[in-house]
Structure 1
């Protein structure tokens, strides 16, 4: 949680610097803000049409500020931070903090006619309530925690694949003992933990193999791409 708040303040400060640059380099923006500040000064110091000058100054400053697109990003990031703070204080969960649990089962092979499956943007989905044939997993999630449990299935001989693309959130993959694992993880910021061995990522891509990958009859390829989030792979 501490790292998330550090990232939040770094992002806000960086966006504020970008906003300052946009104001200085945009003639309409800085002229409007200077005029607004002058009107506010006249309204504070003077007694003639005080309300008019204060109102005009506030409007001009607001126009000069909000014509820059970065200010809307700053407000959005601030709103997300406020929601995270409130959810942590009161114990509530935001949509992207809800757990996304996948328990996979197997069934007899069926004809390959093709399938289509919709996934939520923000967590809170359970895949595997009903028995079905194992198939490779391909997920795109905007934000949220994801749990993929392969302990209830028998992976086929050869290679199987899990592909996950995510904006924000933690991902945990539970792999049966005896399955060779290859992890290819890319992240702007986060950590990678494979059977307890943890390493930090900062705009990096890491590829790791389990010790028994070359000799295992069943192998699992885990390919993940996230902006900010952790990946944990555990043998169960």
Structure 2
């Protein structure tokens, strides 16, 4: 899957690069500024004065020219999106994983201790927007889960949860990253996942998504005494449901 995403990323970047070259050739003014900037950079390097005015003026002209082409902005946005989703794997393949640590990949472990049932009306909880998080590290009283995460991986483990009978709700809103929910055997699951680009892995079955909303039910959902309804909205990322 990651290898396929990388090939698609390279293909899109190559197409955008060809489009950029084509647009520069059509616009003689931008092409002239680009070539003039490259010439000034070459002169600055030839004189071994990398900090010379000519060198930096040349780079300014090159940067200004490239940023004047809309396809370059798409290349930058696509690169940043791929870096956010698969940057750790990319740097690992290049043996640079020890040199780069992404802030949204830092592990964050969250545990909720056992407590007596209480009135949760008006209760507030701070959301963690960036970074990995895990819910369900110890036995805890069930409350419907409502998560908002900008980027990072999220694990929700229901194995230690005292799920009440009936339908229980999990809401997830995420920008970038993977979400994984671990469900005990005998619990019915309903999942509705919306994503611009990503996939759903439901009980080891894989379903790719591209600007789609996907709904799936476990076989025992209608007859199960304990059920979990999951509604998720993700920009880019995978959603996985695993049964214990």
TM-score calculated relative to the size of structure 2: 0.72
1:192/1:170 CA distance change after superposition, 3 Å: same
1:107/1:224 CA distance change after superposition, 3 Å: same
1:207/1:37 CA distance change after superposition, 3 Å: same
1:54/1:155 CA distance change after superposition, 3 Å: closer
CA distance in 1, matches of 2:112, 2:158: 6
Task: Describe how 1:45-60 pairs up with structure 2 within 5 A.
Answer: 59-60=60-61
Task: Describe how 1:127-166 pairs up with structure 2 within 5 A.
Answer: 127-128=135-136, 133-166=141-174
CA distance in 1, matches of 2:112, 2:157: 7
Alignment equivalent of 2:199, drawn from 191, 194, 198: 191
Task: Describe how 1:34-113 pairs up with structure 2 within 5 A.
Answer: 34-37=32-35, 59-68=60-69, 71=72, 74-75=75-76, 77-78=78-79, 80=83, 84=88, 85-88=90-93, 89-92=95-98, 93-99=101-107, 107-113=115-121
Kindly indicate whether the alpha-carbon contact (under 8 Å) linking 1:189 and 1:228 is maintained by their aligned counterparts in 2. Answer: yes
CA distance in 1, matches of 2:60, 2:34: 7
The two structures, once aligned, show a CA RMSD in angstroms of 3.8
The answer to which of 101-110 and 219-228 deviates more is: 101-110
Counterpart of 2:181 in structure 1 is 173
Counterpart of 1:2 in structure 2 is 3
1:103/1:15 CA distance change after superposition, 3 Å: farther
1:111/1:57 CA distance change after superposition, 3 Å: closer
Kindly indicate whether the alpha-carbon contact (under 8 Å) linking 2:25 and 2:31 is maintained by their aligned counterparts in 1. Answer: no
Q: Helix, strand or coil for the counterpart of 1:201?
A: strand
Counterpart of 2:213 in structure 1 is 205
Q: Does 1:118 align with 2:153?
A: no
Kindly indicate whether the alpha-carbon contact (under 8 Å) linking 2:111 and 2:138 is maintained by their aligned counterparts in 1. Answer: no
Q: Helix, strand or coil for the counterpart of 1:229?
A: strand
CA distance in 2, matches of 1:220, 1:183: 8
Kindly indicate whether the alpha-carbon contact (under 8 Å) linking 2:141 and 2:162 is maintained by their aligned counterparts in 1. Answer: no
Kindly indicate whether the alpha-carbon contact (under 8 Å) linking 2:133 and 2:153 is maintained by their aligned counterparts in 1. Answer: no
- The alignment covers a number of residue pairs equal to 228
The answer to which of 185-194 and 101-110 deviates more is: 101-110
- Post-superposition shift, 1:105? 6.0
